[in-house]
Amino acid sequence: MGLTIKQIRDNTIRARHLMQRSRSQGFAVGAFNIDNQDTIIAVARAAQAKNAPILMEVTHDEVTAMGIDNIRDMVDNYKAEYGLEVYINLDHSPTVEGAKRGIDAGFEFIHIDISQANKEASDEEIIAQTREVVEYAKFTGALVESEPHYFGGSSNLHTEAFDYEEIRKTFSTPEGAKAFIDATGIDTFAAAIGNLHGKYPVPKELDLELLQRIRDMIDCNISLHGGSGTAAHYFTEAAKIGVSKVNINSDLRFAFRTNLERILAENPDQYAVVKIMEPVRQAVQAVVEEKIDALGSAGKAIL
């Protein structure tokens, strides 16, 4: 039914406190994409089982499919049912208008990604539009995240390998991160240190030394996108360095689809799919619990 302004502001204060706790205690918070009600249940159960704070996140596609106010209501319903510390992140909003709608709906975390919609956007355009979202978010206190250039990969299962040296050319720099933060006033910087979106047939390699230099240069929160298909030890080390948020999508989608295909094949005469979804939810939940353990956020929820 929607939240009051006071409720939204109280939630964003708690979200800010969570980011502060993550820094001081050396853990990171998992931001898990939710495609539908089954993934919401799976993520909620994992958070409850691990007593972990989490973000449930949606992109423009999920917002279009489910409705931004419906997402807010569903997450709040499961928050109450399972007893969770959970917040909502609008992930990779391609427009200022979309980001503002997320703020109005009471989302605690907003990722504005101008270069996603326009890969040719100039530095000036990206900074100006990001700054507009930062100013708008001050009304509710929502935390705004961004980056100065297009982030590589896509949230999918990729069959092609990637050229690490080419990817390295797109890495963040400590100086560039600081300049972007100073120009925009964002709360969270999305660092690029080898963390491509999606799952690939070759392992991802994160440049933790570069991450440390970025951490030493900036004061705001750091997020890592492309958490799928990444060795667990990178999460653990990144959290110790000072990453507060890690986005995970493709691993969940892979678990959901492959297990759904298996269950459907095993039950060819069952058309009430709702009756056979539990193994799918359990498979997604297992992935989320594994990520929570790697991020060090188990037992860190404050209700």
**Residues forming the active site:** 91
Find the DSSP H helices in the chain: 5-25, 37-50, 60-66, 68-82, 96-104, 114-117, 123-137, 164-168, 174-184, 208-217, 232-241, 250-266, 278-295
- Cα–Cα nearest to 112, from 127, 130, 87: 130
Amino acid at 166: E
CB 230 within 8 A of CB 195: yes
Say if residue 83 is exposed, middle or buried (CB neighbours under 10 Å; 0-12, 13-18, 19+). Answer: middle
* Cα separation, 87 vs 302, whole angstroms: 12
Contact of 133 with 112, CB cutoff 8 Å: yes
Question: Collapsing DSSP states into helix, strand and coil, what is residue 33?
Answer: strand
Q: For residue 32, what are the β-bridge partners?
A: 56, 248
Question: Alpha-carbon distance 125 to 169, whole Å?
Answer: 22
Contact status, residue 19 vs residue 143, Cβ threshold 8 Å: yes
Distance CA 134, CA 172 (A): 21
Contact 82, 45 (CB under 8 A): yes
